Amino acid sequence: MKRRILVILSSVVLLFVAVLYFVYILPFTGVPFNGSRHGAPPLTPPWALECWAWEDDINTAAAVTDLINGYEANDLPLRTILIDSPWSMRYNDFVVDEERYPNPAEFFGDLERRGYRTVLWMTGMVDKTSKDTRIQDSQDWFEEATAKGYLVGNGTPTKWWKGSGSLIDYSNPEAVKWWRGMQQQVFDWGLDGWKLDGTGTFCVARFGGLPVPYRMTSKGLISTRGYMDLYYREEYQHGLTQNPEFITLARSLDRYAHIEGFAPIDASPVNWVGDNDHQWSLKEEGLEEALTDILRSARLGYCVIGSDNAGYSGGAIPVNLFIRWTQFSTFCGLFLNGGHGVHAPWLRSKEELEIYRTFAWLHTELIPYMYTHVALCHEGGKPLMRPQKPKYHYLFGDDFLVAPIYEDSLSREVTLPAGRWRYWFKDDEVLEGPQTFVRDYALNEFPVFVRDGAIIPLNVTRPYTGLGGRDSEGFLTLLVYPDGKSAFEIRNPDKSGVTTARVDASGNSVSITVEGVKKPHILRVKRAEKPTSVVLDGKNLAEGTDWSYDTGRHFVIIRTREYGEGRYTIS
């Protein structure tokens, strides 16, 4: 009898767990990670890999202009301006608040003329009441949308962090037509992307106070997970119809808001990991949390990922935290500086400004390297960031090993994988892996190691990193660490095609071939001693005119504008 009761109780428990999982957990979170619902990562355009900036304390055109002017005056690289909420008259009518942003056509046009890309914040919420917009009571607008069937859940309002409203019903063609009509004006002004904030998790009904992960749409019930996928895909795909280089900035993971993840990988040209604090530790939701979520996102297959540099909010940003987070952001696909508090480097210490400038330019110089790996990932290859063992180590592309400093300490234990590695900031030393060691890293350095044999394509336009100078602009710089045979197929960011560099190091001689799409280029070839000759396509190049040797850093530097077969011999 007892055995029978136990069997019945066990069956009831199993049934309850199954119902809980399939009716609640799976529709809401998608756990476990379902790779079949994701496609390949999109091909992120090169501009989105360059440096981004924003502020979230003032939110006006004047604040944006001051920000841009500060970056330009201090010779800091910047491509993308993110304008967060509130910028519209109400959430989300896409009508620019002209008290905050006067003459919007002129404002957006000026950003474009100055070479900047513009990304605007949005969500899928149609608000009945909004907290911080010019129009806070929009009941008539909301009720009109409800009456026409444009909102999920028959327009039942939901409280969220910006007010109270209901989500647009992407399954209803008339609702989508209305929605796109409101968006069109900012597209016409040259919009380059949306920051899609995470209101999809509010696609939840409540019965007796209990959340149920479904809402009614024009096509029937939709799960929370299903609505989120629709939101991210619809906005990204529509953006591409307006601008072929359009992107969306969407959450990949945010541990406290959604377990499995937010945007589908195929609708994730650029990702960030939600709001971190101006803190160090995982417990305090700081740098360690960002590092954890970024590497977990990469492990799931997201490609271009980053975080708000130094955290989104909190108290004053510590000097060392700002520096170490900047260095980590340098070796992420997304370099995003901004949020609440003082993020503008020129308003911080001189040391922070100089270190930020160096690392932000290094990130910018790495665009050809990053874009190549992003393209390969889009074609079925590995993500740009590849988590390694032990914890908090990752490969950045094929050729960099990064071990971020995530504590307020100069010391870091590093484990190198098998192979020969060089410390990026003192690259004369060769380290044999696998090995584990502990070193101190000054604030102007960072635990980054480059693989011997690497070919690193760069776009150098400034002198701050020591990899060239202003006279390098217009040239493809190829940083070469000869070790046996190696090759790198560069997907040129200007979309001109593929340029391939091949290296064969044997004894005291190094052969390099640059083939494919021809590019004016500068070779920076690591070599312990000055060569006796440098030959290109059978012709001896002249020292001092065509090539030189850096005796301090031990590089042969060859500058070539025009060439035939592109065959070099250094001996």
DSSP 96-120: B-TTTSSSHHHHHHHHHHTT-EEEE
Give 368's Cβ-side CA count (13 Å radius). 26
Residue 331 DSSP symbol:
T
β-strand partners of 216: 221
The secondary structure of 171-189, three-state, reads CCHHHHHHHHHHHHHHHHC
**DSSP string for 15-79:** HHHHHIIIIIIHHHH-PSP-GGG--PPP---GGGGSEEE--SSS-SHHHHHHHHHHHHHTT----
| Co-location of 542 and 523 in the same domain | yes
pLDDT of residue 350: 98
Same domain, yes or no: 482 and 412: no
Examine the domain organization and report whether 469 and 548 are in the same domain.
Answer: yes
- 460 and 475 share one domain: yes
What are the angstrom distances between the C-alpha of 539 and each of 186, 506, 543, 567? Answer: 56, 20, 13, 10
Say how many domains are in the chain. 2
Q: Residue 208: its pLDDT value, please?
A: 80
Domain boundary at 418, 451, 484, which? 451
531 in any annotated domain: yes
Same domain for 477 and 510?
yes
The pTM score is 0.94
- CA–CA gap between residue 373 and residue 336 (Å, rounded): 20
Check whether residue 473 and residue 515 sit in a common domain. yes
For residues 425 and 495, state if they share a domain: no
Residue 549 domain boundaries: 455-570
Q: Judge whether 410 lies within some domain.
A: yes
How many Cβ atoms from other residues are within 10 Å of residue 382's Cβ? 15
Provide the 10 A C-beta neighbour count for residue 35: 9
399 and 476 in a single domain? The answer is no
**CATH (domain of 542):** 2.60.40.1180
Peptide bond into 86 cis (omega under 30): yes
Inter-CA distances, 344 with 107, 111, 307, 357, Å = 21, 19, 16, 11
Sheet containing 539-540: order of strands? 485-491, 498-506, 509-516, 567-570, 534-536, 539-540
For residue 37, what pLDDT is reported? 76
Identify whether 191 is part of a domain.
no
Residues 502 and 537 in one domain: yes
379 vs 384: CA distance, rounded Å: 12
Quick one: 464 and 447 in the same domain? no
Task: Please tell me whether residues 494 and 552 are part of one structural domain.
Answer: yes
Flag whether 308 is in a domain: no
Three-state SS at 374? helix
Per-position pLDDT tens, the chain of length 571: 667 766 666 666 666 655 555 555 555 555 445 666 788 999 999 999 999 999 999 999 999 999 999 999 999 999 999 999 999 999 999 999 999 999 999 999 999 999 999 999 999 999 999 999 999 999 999 999 999 999 999 999 999 999 999 999 999 999 999 999 999 999 999 999 999 998 999 999 988 878 888 999 999 999 999 999 999 999 999 999 999 999 999 999 876 555 567 899 999 999 999 999 999 999 999 999 999 999 999 999 999 999 999 999 999 999 999 999 999 999 999 999 999 999 999 999 999 999 999 999 999 999 999 999 999 999 999 999 999 999 999 999 999 999 999 999 999 999 999 999 999 999 999 999 999 999 999 999 999 999 999 999 999 999 999 999 999 999 999 999 999 999 999 999 999 999 999 999 998 999 999 999 999 999 999 999 999 999 999 999 999 999 999 999 999 999 999 999 999 999 9
Does residue 527 form part of some domain? Answer: yes
In a domain, 255, yes or no: no
Q: Per-residue b/e over 474-512, b at no fewer than 16 CB within 10 Å?
A: ebbbbbbbbbeebebbbbbbeeeeebebbbebeeeebbb
For residues 400 and 558, what is the distance between their CA atoms, to the nearest angstrom?
A: 24
Q: What is the reported pLDDT for 36?
A: 66
Nearest to 542 by CA among 532, 551, 534: 534
In this predicted structure, what is the pLDDT of residue 260?
Answer: 61
Q: Are 527 and 516 in contact (CB under 8 A)?
A: no
- Give the C-alpha separation, 47 to 356, whole Å: 19
Per-state percent for the chain, helix, strand, coil, to nearest 5: 30, 30, 40
Last residue of a domain, one of 451, 477, 495: 451
Residue 402 located in a structural domain? yes
Q: What does residue 531 show for φ and ψ, rounded to 5 degrees?
A: -75, 160
Burial classification of residue 442, based on how many CB atoms lie within 10 Å of its CB (0-12 exposed, 13-18 middle, 19 or more buried): exposed
Same domain? For 412 and 462 the reply is no
Q: Measure the CA–CA gap between 317 and 395, rounded to whole angstroms.
A: 28
Host H or E run for residue 485: strand 485-491
Query: Is residue 473 in some structural domain?
Result: yes
Please identify, among 430, 451, 472, the residue that sits at the C-terminal boundary of a domain.
Answer: 451
Q: Which two tokens stand for residue 118?
A: 């513009």
